[in-house]
Amino acid sequence: MLFDRARVAATLPGYDLGNEIGAGSFGLVLAGWHRNLQREVAIKVLAPGGRRRPFGADEAQIMASLDHPHIVRVHDFRPGDDFDVIVMEMLAGGSLSRRQREMGQEEFCAVGLAVAGALSYAHSRGVLHRDIKPDNVMFDFAGHVKVVDFGIAKRVFGSAATASAVIGTPLFMAPEQVARGRLGPATDLYALGMMLFLLLAGKAPFDGEWSDEVFGEPHLARPGHSIRRPAGIPPSVADVILRALAKDPGGRPPSAKAFAVDLAEAAADSYGPGWLGRSGIRVHLDDDVRAAAEARSVLPIAVAAATIPRTIDPGGPTAPAPNPSRSARSGQQQQQSRSHRRSTRPRFRRRGVAAAGVLLLSAVAALLFATISRGAGDTRPHQVGLLAGHTDWVTAVAFSPNGRTLASGGRDRAVRLWDVSDPFHPHQLGSPLLGHTDGITSVAFSPDGRTLVSAGKDSAVRRWDVTDPSRAHSLGAPLPVAAGYAHAVAFPSSAGRSLDGRVMASGGAAGMVQLWDLTDRAAPRPFGQPLAAHHDRVWSVALSSEGRTLASGSLDGTVRLWDVTDPALPHSLGAPLDGHPGGVYTVAFAPDTRTLASGGKDGLVRLWEVTDPASPRPLGHPLAGHSSLVWSVAFSPDERTLASVSADQTVRLWDVTDRTSPRPLGQPLVGHTDWVTSVAFSPNGRIVASGSWDKTVRLWAVP
C-alpha cells in the first residue's frame, strides 16, 4: 500500500509514527507512540479502495465495545476521506503462526482455551468474529494471547444471522459460512477447531490435497475430502476438536464456554497434572474452565498428604517436571479418553461422601504443605500482599523511612497511605489525600519521614504532613512548577539524615529541574532559578544519599549529573550520559552513591560508575531481559539487588553484587495485568512494592 505518511501523521497529531510492522489487502499497520500517555501503539491504516475499508468504522466500534483480556484493545479511531485509521494496543509478541514452530501440544491447547474465552465473551455481546486463524491470534509483551482483526466481524441478534457474502479465509470457514447459510457461535467454533487441528496435527483434516483458493461447496461435502482422525494427538483431545469440526452446526459444542470446558478436561486427562502451568501461556479463564483444566491434579495432592516428610527443604534440589508437549506420552496417558472418564463418573458420584473426603483432604494437604514450606523458608521471591484502592492507574510508590507506611499515587488524583508493617495483611490508612487536579506522577518521603511530597500533571508539587499517617493532611498551597507539569520529585535517602529533609528536587515537562528548601515545611522556597537541564521532559530525578549529587533523566535520551553540595549554586558535572535512545524514564543511586542505574524506552537497564561524578563511565553490559520500556528501577538497601519494572507487565530482580557483571535473579515476577510503572524497596530490603496501570500495588517478599 502506498500512503501519504504526512497525511496519516496529520490525522494523528498526538502520535509519533514508527516503522511498518504489518501489511495486507486491508492496508498496513505501523508502530506508533502516544506522546502524552507515553504508550506504544499499533496504527492500522485501512487502504483506499481496499477490500476491508468499508468495515473500518464497524471494526473500531466492535473492538471498542469488547473489553476482555484476550481481545486486542482499541484506543482511537479516525475516519478520513480516503483512508481510515484505527489505533490499537501494541502486540509485540508476534502472531501464533510465527511462534507455532517453537510450541508444543500443551501450549496449543492453552491458546485454544484463551481464544475460546475471547469468543465466549464476544458471542455473549452478539459479535461473531468469522475469521479465527493463526494469523489473527497474537501475543503482547508479556505473552498474553490476543484475538485480533475484527474487520469482518458481524453483529448478530438472537441465535444466528444469515451470511450476506462469502467472506473469510477458505480453510477456516465453516460449511454454513461457505454456503451463505445461517451463522452463529458454532461458526467461530468450527474455525477454532480447524486452527487447533492444524497446530496439533500439522496438516488439514481432509484426505487428499487442499487449497485455500477453493470456494464453493462446503468442506465436508467435497468429494475426496473426508474428515480424518489426527495422528499423534491424544484421543480425548482429538474428540473435542473433531466435534467442533462437525458438518452440522448442531453437532458442535453448544457454546464456546462448553468447548473450553471440554478441551480443558481432555488436556488435563491427556497431559497430566500441572499441564496448564507447564505450557507457559498466560491465560485468564473462568473458574469452571480453570477447575476443569486442573481437575486431574486433585488425587495426586491427596496422596502426597499422606507422605509429607517431617522436614522439608524447599531450597533443595528437585527434579524438573517433564514437558509432555515435547516428549513421548506414556501408553496409559495416551489411552485416556472421554468415554473412559464418563464411565467412571457414576461410581464417583455413588461415593459422594468419600469423594468429598478426598477433596477436603486435598485442600488440607495443599494448605499444610504451603505452611510447612513457608516455615522452612522460601528462597524464591513471591507475592505476599495486594493493595487495591485506586480507581485508575497507579503511577508511583514509595516506602517511609521506617518501612511501616507505603505511599502510592495514581491517575485518579489521589495519594493513598497504607500500613505495611505486616506485609501479609496490609490495609489503608485514613482517607485518600486529595488536592491535585490531575494525575499524580511521583511521590517521595523526606528522610525524617515527617513529610510526603507528590508531583502531578496539574503543574504542582504538594506537601503532606505524615507524622501520623492515619491523620495525614496538607501543608498549604502547592509549589508551582514552571512551564508544564511536574513529573518527578526526590529527597536524599534516609542515609542522609544530616539533611533532615531540607533539600528536595523536582523535574518537569519543560526540561527543567528545581531544588527546594523545605527547612520551613509551611513556607518552602526555591533554591535559585530552575536548572535548564534537558531539551525534553525530565521524567526522573534522584539525589544521592549524602545529598551532594543530583541525577536527572529525560526523554531527550540523556542522563545528567549535577553538583548540589551548595543547593543555591548547583552546577553540571561532565558531559551528558547517552545510552537510551528514545528516552530515559528512570534513574536511581545505589546507597553507597558509587553507582547510578538508569532505564529507558529501549527496554534496557544501564549501570554507571559515578564514584567521581565528574567522570562517570558505564559499568559492564546493559541488563537485557525486559521486552518493553523500563519505567522504574530501585536498589536494595544492602546494594546487592536491583529491581526494575516495565511495560511488559513484569518485575525483575538483578544480582548487582559485582556491578561489572550483573545477572538476573530467577524468573520475572508476574501477576500484574498491565504496565508496571513504579517500584520501591522497603528499608529492610525484604519487600518490593510495585505499582501498575492495573490499578493495584503488589508486595513481593524477597529472600
Model pLDDT for residues 681-695, shown as the tens digit of each residue: 999 999 999 999 999
Q: Is the pLDDT of residue 674 over 80?
A: yes
Domain boundaries, given as residue ranges, for the chain: 5-89, 94-205+229-294, 435-663
Q: Is the pLDDT of residue 428 over 50?
A: yes
Are 581 and 601 within 8 A, CB to CB?
yes
Instruction: State the binding site for ATP.
Output: 44
Higher-confidence position of 477 and 217: 477
Name the CATH superfamily for 94-205+229-294. Transferase(Phosphotransferase) domain 1 (1.10.510.10)
- What is the band of 261 on the pLDDT scale with cuts at 50, 70, 90? very high
Q: How many CA atoms lie within 13 A of 220 on its CB side?
A: 17
Note the CATH architecture for domain 5-89: 2-Layer Sandwich (3.30)
Q: What's the whole-number mean pLDDT along residues 666-695?
A: 94
pLDDT at 550 over 90: yes
Question: Which phi-psi region, left, alpha or beta, contains residue 304 (left: φ > 0; alpha: ψ -120 to 50)?
Answer: alpha
Q: Residue 23 has which C-alpha cell?
A: 501489511
Alpha carbon distance 131, 629 (integer Å): 32
Tens of pLDDT, residues 461-488: 999 999 999 999 999 999 877 656 788 9
- What is the average per-residue pLDDT within 532-546? 91
Which is more confident, 290 or 24?
290
Tell me if residue 460 falls in helix, strand or coil.
strand
Least confident of 179-193, 339-353, 494-508: 339-353
628 and 92 Cβ atoms separated by less than 8 Å: yes
pLDDT at 494: 54
Place of cell 487502504: 47
Q: Both ends of the chain: CA-CA distance in Å?
A: 54
| Predicted confidence (pLDDT) at residue 648 exceeds the cutoff of 50 | yes
Looking up cell 507487565, which residue turns up? 649
| Per-residue pLDDT tens over the stretch 218-250 | 454 444 445 677 778 999 999 999 999 998 999
**Over residues 415-434, mean pLDDT:** 92
Residue 282 has pLDDT above 60, yes or no: yes
Q: Check if the beta carbon of residue 207 is closer than 8 Å to that of residue 191.
A: no
d(C-alpha 291, C-alpha 262), whole Å:
11
pLDDT above 80: residue 414:
yes
Model pLDDT, residue 354: 44
Q: d(Cα 533, Cα 523) in Å, to the nearest integer?
A: 26
CA-based angle 317:319:321, to the nearest 5? 140
Residue 560 has pLDDT above 80, yes or no: yes
pLDDT of res. 60: 75
Listed in sequence order, the DSSP H helices in 331-463 are 331-335, 338-350, 352-376
Using CA atoms, how far apart are residues 361 and 540, in angstroms rounded to an integer?
Answer: 52
Among left, alpha and beta (phi > 0; psi -120 to 50; other), residue 274 is left
The least confident of 105-109, 280-284, 293-297, 357-361 is 357-361
CA–CA dist 46, 56 (Å, integer): 7
Higher-pLDDT residue of 609 and 320 is: 609
Q: Tell me, which fold does domain 435-663 have in CATH?
A: Methylamine Dehydrogenase; Chain H (2.130.10)
Helix, strand or coil for residue 338?
Answer: helix
Answer yes or no: are the C-beta atoms of 501 and 448 closer than 8 Å. yes
3-state secondary structure of 330: coil
Is the pLDDT at 574 greater than 60? The verdict is: yes
CA 565 to chain centre: 41
Binding-site residue ranges = 44
Q: 653 near 646, Cβ under 8 Å?
A: no
| Identity of the residue numbered 420 | V
In the predicted structure, residue 298 carries a pLDDT above the cut 80: no
DSSP state string for 178-208: HTT-EE-HHHHHHHHHHHHHHHHHSS-SBSS
Using CA atoms, how far apart are residues 452 and 475, in angstroms rounded to an integer? 10
**Strand spans (E) along 610-675:** 617-624, 630-635, 641-646, 651-655, 663-664
Say what the pLDDT of residue 370 is.
40
- Give the pLDDT band of residue 501 (cuts 50, 70, 90): low
The secondary structure of residue 422, as a DSSP letter, is: S
The Cα–Cα gap between 701 and 703 comes to 6
Choice between 8 and 36, residue whose per-residue pLDDT is larger:
8
